[in-house]
């Protein structure tokens, strides 16, 4: 894997291209223009960027109103605030009426690191995937992010996209392979049927690293990318379960209600597939750098390898 780009930079570039062609596309931010990497958008298309200030609830409701008037707003806000402080507006003003608003949760997961629990969004997937009509995505590299945004600028379906702050290493070779449609996942690594590692977003590269280390240790794994958290690629999960019967999910999220829970729900009716979930425990998460926190909770590649080896014994 090579160094790629930050998801925010990719989104900004794609939105500039799309909004230049379609003046109905707007970027709406709540005092987070810099964090959202939107300064180039503001410079290129100042009349299409709306700054709402620290008022996430207003950002969502105003965007819903503009969408009913034919605009295509993309709302940018820290994921923690967007999916908690303004979740009633997301549910009632956007999802309930199936309104064309795209919600971009920036600095997701543990991205804000030392700022602590107030800024961590470790429950956002559990919240958003439970809301009817709302699609949920977590892109893993620059190509997948670009392809996803290209789709969303054309789609009329409300959606939530969670991104982080890190430079994402390139996992895919191009946009066509990275994202094709909602509800479609990808097998990105396949060395055998001992175990299937499943992840999305920033932790996908960790899962891939772990799988490569497992191969060196004689454990033959698959790696599945579930960029589309909702709708979920249940068909792909069933195909993988036919071959391995043991899933290990890795996510920058609580172990409750997120990707691991979605996977477990999907394969539970089979009764033949074990699902082990790696994520944050049900406790306030410590403050520290992302790498420190991941190592502390056993979410780095070396820790994942050890856990898989133990579970397969």
| pLDDT-flagged residues of the chain (< 70) | 1-2
Q: Is 268 domain-assigned? A: yes
Q: Quick one: pLDDT at residue 114?
A: 84
Count of domains for the chain: 2
Say which CATH number the domain at 147 has.
3.40.50.970
Q: Quick one: pLDDT at residue 118?
A: 84
Whether residue 97 is found in the same domain as residue 232: no
CA atoms within 13 A on the CB side of 128: 36
Whether residue 149 is found in the same domain as residue 283: no
Global pTM value: 0.96
Whether residue 31 is found in the same domain as residue 77: yes
Q: Is 42 domain-assigned? A: yes
Are the C-beta atoms of residues 265 and 126 closer than 8 Å to each other?
A: no
Say which CATH number the domain at 184 has.
3.40.50.920
Domain limits for position 287: 180-312
What is the secondary structure of 15-76 as a DSSP string? HHHHHHH-TTEEEEESS-TTTTT-HHHHHH-GGGEEE--S-HHHHHHHHHHHHHTT-EEEEE
- Tens digit of pLDDT for each residue in 119-156? 899 999 999 999 999 999 999 999 999 999 999 999 99
Residue that terminates a domain, selected from 170, 205, 228: 170
- Tens digit of pLDDT for each residue in 173-223? 999 999 999 999 999 999 999 999 999 999 999 999 999 999 999 999 999
Whether residue 36 is found in the same domain as residue 159: yes
Residue that terminates a domain, selected from 170, 195, 210: 170
Whether residue 140 is found in the same domain as residue 38: yes
Whether residue 69 is found in the same domain as residue 136: yes
Q: Is 175 domain-assigned? A: no
Q: Is 254 domain-assigned? A: yes
């Amino acid at each position: 894997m090579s160094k790629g780009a930050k998801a925010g930079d990719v989104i900004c570039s794609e939105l500039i291209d799309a909004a230049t062609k379609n003046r109905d596309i707007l970027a709406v931010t709540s005092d987070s223009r810099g964090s959202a990497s939107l300064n180039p958008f503001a410079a290129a298309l100042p009349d299409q960027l709306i700054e709402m200030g620290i008022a996430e609830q207003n950002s969502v409701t105003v965007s819903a109103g503009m969408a009913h008037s034919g605009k295509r707003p993309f709302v940018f806000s820290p994921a923690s605030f967007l999916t908690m402080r303004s979740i009633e507006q997301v549910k009632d003003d956007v999802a309930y009426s199936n309104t064309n608003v795209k919600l971009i949760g920036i600095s997701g997961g543990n991205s804000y690191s030392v700022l602590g629990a107030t800024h961590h969004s470790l429950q956002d997937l559990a919240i958003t995937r439970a809301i009817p009509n709302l699609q949920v995505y977590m892109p893993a590299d620059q190509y997948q992010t670009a392809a996803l945004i290209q789709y969303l600028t054309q789609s009329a379906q409300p959606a939530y996209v969670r991104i982080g702050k890190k430079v994402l290493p390139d996992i895919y070779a191009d946009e066509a392979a990275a994202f094709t449609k909602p509800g479609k996942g990808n097998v990105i690594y396949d060395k055998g049927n001992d175990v299937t590692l499943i992840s999305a977003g920033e932790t996908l590269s960790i899962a891939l690293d772990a799988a490569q280390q497992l191969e060196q240790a004689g454990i033959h794994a698959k790696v599945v990318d579930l960029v589309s958290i909702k709708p979920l690629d249940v068909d792909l999960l069933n195909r993988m379960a036919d071959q391995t019967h043991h899933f290990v999910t890795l996510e920058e999220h609580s172990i409750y209600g997120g990707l691991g829970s979605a996977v477990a729900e999907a394969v539970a009716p089979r009764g033949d597939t074990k699902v082990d979930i790696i994520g944050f425990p049900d406790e306030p998460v410590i403050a520290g750098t992302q790498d420190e926190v991941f190592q502390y909770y056993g979410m780095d590649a070396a820790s994942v390898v050890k856990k898989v080896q133990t579970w397969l014994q």
